[in-house]
A = this chain, B = another copy of it.
C-alpha cells in the first residue's frame, strides 16, 4: 500500500469529492433535509485518539514475529486505528468522534499460506481472536476485530501482502490470485494480457478478492460477468483445522458445494487465501447510455423484460424518481454533456407528458463491437416500448467515469451533520414493487418518527438484475439527531431490515452479514441452518478464534 488512507473516512487521504463544481447540490440538499449550512461536524484530531494498552504478552508477539518477520507485524496506534473498523456509517460516526470500541492489539501481515496456518495455530493455542482484513471496506461491521469473551487479545490479519497473480491459464480462461490482491492490481495484471475479471464493486479501488469472496460481493457489471460466486473455479481456505482446497474442476457433483460453503463465510470458518477465477477476454467496446422513463414503475418493466430476454447488458441501473432528481441536482457545470442532456430530456419529457418526475436508467453493454451494438439496440427497443427515451452516451459515460466516487461524498456529508447510509436486498419480480414500497415507507417513517424528527430523503435504484428478480439498493439521508446519531441510525436500520424480512426479500444481496445483519440473518436462515453452520464452525474453528462477535458466534 503506497498511499495512506483516511483513518476517518473513505479512500486515500488526497482524494475528496468535488462539490464546488456542483452548484445545485447543496441548495437542494439543504432544502430537502432542512440542514443548517453553518453546522460543521469534522472528525476529531488523530492525535486526540486514545487507545487501550496492548493486551498481548510480548512473548506471543515474539512468536508471531518469528513466523511472519518483524516487518510484518505492527502495534502502533495508526495501524491499530485503521484496522479497528470497516467503513460503515456506524463505523465512521464512532471513529470521527474518537470512539474506538475494538482496536486490535496487533496487525499481522502474512505472506504465505503456511504463515497463515501458523498464525492461526498460535492464536488457537493462546485463545487470541483473529479477524481477517482485506481492504477494510465492509459496510456492515464485518472487519471490526472484536474479541471473544474468554480471549485475551485480538489480531487483525491484514491480507494486503498476499497480493500476487499466481497463474494465468489462457487455455482455460482462468487466473489464480492470492486473496489479498486489490481490484486495480488484479485488473492490471489481467488487462495488460487482454483479459478482465469483470468485477467492479463501488469499493473496487480498495477492496480485495478475498473480501469479495468472503461476502458474496457484486460488481457494477454483474449483469454480464455475474456476482463473485459465479466467477470461481476453486478456492483455498486456511482453517485452524487444516487447509481446504475445493475440487479444481467445473461443476462437480460430489455432494454439497463446499465452494459455496466457503464463499460467503465472512472469515468465520477460515482465511480465504487464494482462488482460481474465471476471466474474460477484454470487451472490444463499452457502450453506456442514459435512458429516461416516465416513472420507476415503467422502468422496472423494461429492466425485467431485458433481463428475461437474457441480453446480458454489463450494467442496467434504474434509479427511482427521488434518486433521479438527486442525480440531476448533482450535475457538475463542467460536465455539461451528461447533466444537461438529462435535464433537457427530463424537462422536455416531463413537460410533454405532464409528469412531475422521471426515472433514469444507465444501460451499458460490453462485448465485441457487433454483439454490444446488437444487444444495445435490442435493449433500447424494449426500453422504448415502456416509454424509455435514449438520452445518449454522455449520461452513461459520465456515470461510468464517476462510479467509484459516491463513498467520497459521504465524508463531506458527515462533515455537515448528515446521516447517510445505504442498504440493499434482492427479491423476485412478483413482489419487487411491494418490497420497494415497504422498505421505503419503513425508512421514511423511522426517520420521521425518531426524536427531534427530521425530513427523510430515501432514494433507491435497481442494480444487478436477473431473469427471476433483482436487487434493490436504498440510500437514506437525514439531518443527524445531535448526540444521538447512533440510536437514530439504529432505529432506521431496524425498521428497514424488519421490512425486508417481513416482505420475504433477502437480508442482503451483496453487503453481507457482518455485525449489523446478525439478527435478521438468524431469522432468515432459521434454527436448523444456524445450528448446522455453527457445527461447521465448531469443526473448522474449535477454539472460536475467527471473527468473533459476528454471525455464528
Q: Say yes or no for A18: interface residue by CB 8 A criterion.
A: no
Question: Is the pair A429, B526 in contact by a Cβ cutoff of 8 Å?
Answer: no
Spot the interface stretch: A170-178, A386-394, A448-456: A170-178
Among residues of B, the one whose C-beta sits closest to the C-beta of A224 is B310
Residues of A188-220 contacting chain B, CB below 8 A: 215-218
Q: Knowing A425-B249, A528-B239 are in contact, say whether A255-B173 is a contact too (CB < 8 A).
A: no
Please, which residues of chain B bring their CB within 8 A of the CB of A185? none
Q: Say yes or no for A507: interface residue by CB 8 A criterion.
A: yes
Q: Say yes or no for A549: interface residue by CB 8 A criterion.
A: no
Question: Is the pair A253, B535 in contact by a Cβ cutoff of 8 Å?
Answer: no
Q: How far apart sit A511 and B253, CA to CA, in the bound complex (Å)?
A: 7
Among A244, A254, A304, A504, the one with the most B-chain Cβ atoms within 10 Å of its Cβ is A254
Question: Is the pair B254, A513 in contact by a Cβ cutoff of 8 Å?
Answer: yes
Please, which residues of chain B bring their CB within 8 A of the CB of A535? 532, 535-536, 538-539
Taking the closest CB of chain B, its distance from the CB of A210, in whole angstroms, is: 15
Q: Give the oligomeric copy count.
A: 2
Please, which residues of chain B bring their CB within 8 A of the CB of A538? 535
Residues of A275-326 contacting chain B, CB below 8 A: 278, 281, 304, 308
Please, which residues of chain B bring their CB within 8 A of the CB of A169? 428-430
Q: Say yes or no for A477: interface residue by CB 8 A criterion.
A: no
> Which of B251, B256, B521, B539 contacts A255 (CB under 8 A)?
B521
Taking the closest CB of chain B, its distance from the CB of A543, in whole angstroms, is: 15
Question: Is the pair B233, A468 in contact by a Cβ cutoff of 8 Å?
Answer: yes
> Which of B468, B505, B526 contacts A278 (CB under 8 A)?
B468
> Which of B172, B256, B526 contacts A262 (CB under 8 A)?
B256
Taking the closest CB of chain B, its distance from the CB of A146, in whole angstroms, is: 17
Q: Knowing A255-B513, A262-B256 are in contact, say whether A249-B505 is a contact too (CB < 8 A).
A: yes
Among residues of B, the one whose C-beta sits closest to the C-beta of A552 is B255
Please, which residues of chain B bring their CB within 8 A of the CB of A304? 171
Q: Say yes or no for A108: interface residue by CB 8 A criterion.
A: no
| Chain A 415-435 interface mask (CB, 8 Å, partner B; 1/0) | 000000000011111100000
Question: Is the pair B266, A255 in contact by a Cβ cutoff of 8 Å?
Answer: yes
Please, which residues of chain B bring their CB within 8 A of the CB of A249? 425-428, 469, 504-506, 509
Please list 9 pairs of residues, one from A and one from B, whose beta carbons are closer than 8 Å in the complex, sorted by A's number: A172-B430, A172-B469, A216-B253, A247-B524, A249-B504, A253-B512, A256-B263, A257-B261, A532-B536
